[in-house]
Chain A
Amino acid sequence: MTIALSIKDLRKVYGNGFEALKGISFDVQQGDFFALLGPNGAGKSTTLGIVSSLVNKTSGQVEIFGFDLEKDKAAAKRSLGVVPQEFNFNMFEKVGDIVRTQAGYYGIPVELAKQRAEFYLKKLGLWDKRDSRAQMLSGGMKRRLMIARALVHEPKLLILDEPTAGVDIELRRSMWAFLQEINEAGTTIILTTHYLEEAESLCRNIAIIDHGSIIHNTSIKSLLQQLSTETFILDVQPDQAESVVIDGYSVRLEDPHTLVVQVNKGQGLNGLFAQLKNQNIEVTSMRNKSNRLEELFVSMVEKNLEKKDA
């Protein structure tokens, strides 16, 4: 199988002496939808910055579709599309010019550049804005403009640094759908995020980075299997005055009509319901706590911290 991105022993020490990456390694397979997860300041943007030639590495190796970023610069760069974390276009330029100009930087002839710009601007719902200056766009539109710009040379690998940060929920969903569409059409995608829900619903494989080190690199599925407990939220009647005790389950009363129950893997729910019935507590509705990955993530980062303290 072809490897879209290969990172080996990548280190970055910034000018002020701060070591932002402590020798990380991971591979991303062609066709994958990959998430680089980590808390703020973990080193996600630094990693993507080096891959996009915007940050100088201190040591290590980056290969994009087998092309070394140092020795085969042009070929490596051609395979890559970049959507950075911060807006970085000329605010005074027109939307259409921004996308066509970017095509020119990849050596795409004017006519083809025009067609491509039209295609991607339409796809991202910006065609009506082609003659507006970039500064006139809303935040969500600016972000879509960066995606159109990154796709105009039709890269095989698209990397996005926190693409949905500060984007409202509706737009976030439509952006997810778009990314899934181009991933299904064959583009390998890597994104960084700290919305775990995003990684959970989009990505197949992940790496978790913290304090400049990769602390986990696996598939979402196997990561979720590592969860030893699952949390359920139960709405109950009548209101409960004080804590509810149920043998074998850890239960917390969040408010008089909401119970938070931890269920161990393989434990089943019958015992829980039987005891609730005995105590005359009726369950009016129940849901799975959505951010399972969040819990895991927090516990991992904490463990990583403990290891360091030890």
Chain B
Amino acid sequence: MTKDTVFRQEFPVKGGDFSRAGEVSWEIKNLLKELGLSTPVVLRAAIASYEAELNIIMYAWEGRLVLSVTPGRVHVVVEDSGPGIEDIELAMTEGYSTATLEMRELGFGAGMGLANIKKNTDAFLITSEVGRGTRLELTFLTNGQRP
């Protein structure tokens, strides 16, 4: 065993399925705790995963979160097939949201999700292709040192 030992698990997410909203990030949160990561890192990863999970449910058709953990870092790749994001900069703006009225009634759609993801990660990449889908790459350093 070396410091490159990696744990990997995939979590599928179905678009539109609000009844299961939060289940994937709950599992990720518990897994990271079991792996012995410190509470602040666990919470940052859980918050970012939650927002990413919800964006798939709210906007995409289907997608998945792929978690991989090494002793030094947590990596979450979020991929979906969906409508994609036309103007990423606009989508990242705090308060910008295309959530429907129904979604807002459920308490979602404050337009803070992507900004929150960025704030809670140590490295964040987003790419998107209109009509195809969106991909996020979230990195968290386990020593708790934010660059």
Tell whether A and B belong to one assembly. no
Chain B residues packing against A (C-beta within 8 Å): none
Chain A residues packing against B (C-beta within 8 Å): none
